[in-house]
Amino acid sequence: MTNMTEQLIKITQQVNDFENKYHREPASVQLLIVSKNQPIEKIAKAFEAGQHAFGESYLQEALPKVAALPAIEWHFIGPLQSNKTRKIAEHFSWVHSVDSEKIATRLNEQRPPHLPPLNVCIQVNVSEEATKSGLKISEIASLANICMQLPHLRLRGLMTIPRPSHDFAKQREEFHKLLVLWQALRKQYFSLDTLSMGMSNDFEAAIAEGSTLVRIGHAFWEE
Distance (Å, whole) CA 35 – CA 23: 29
Looking at residues 30-42, what average pLDDT do you find? 97
> Given pLDDT bands bounded at 50, 70 and 90, which one contains residue 223?
low
The domains found in the chain, sorted by start residue, are 3-221 (3.20.20.10)
Over residues 65-97, the pLDDT tens digits come to: 999 999 999 999 999 999 999 999 999 999 999
Which pLDDT score, from 0 to 100, does residue 133 have? 81
- Among 178, 187, 185, 113, which residue's Cα sits nearest to residue 147? 185
Residue partners of 173: CB distance under 8 A and separation at least 6: none
Q: Where are the alpha helices (DSSP H) in the chain?
A: 3-21, 40-48, 59-68, 85-91, 101-110, 140-148, 168-188, 203-208, 218-221
Which pLDDT score, from 0 to 100, does residue 215 have? 98
Encoded amino acid at 172, one letter: R
Percent of all residues in the chain with a pLDDT value above 90, rounded to a whole number: 91
Q: Is the pLDDT of residue 163 over 70?
A: yes
Q: Is the pLDDT of residue 44 over 70?
A: yes
Average pLDDT, the chain: 95
Which pLDDT score, from 0 to 100, does residue 1 have? 58
Looking at residues 219-223, what average pLDDT do you find? 85
Look at the pTM and tell me if it is higher than 0.85. Answer: yes
Over residues 181-208, the pLDDT tens digits come to: 999 999 987 789 999 999 999 999 999 9
Looking at residues 47-75, what average pLDDT do you find? 97
Q: Are 117 and 154 in contact (CB under 8 A)?
A: yes
Distance (Å, whole) CA 210 – CA 44: 30
Which pLDDT score, from 0 to 100, does residue 222 have? 82
Percent of all residues in the chain with a pLDDT value above 70, rounded to a whole number: 99
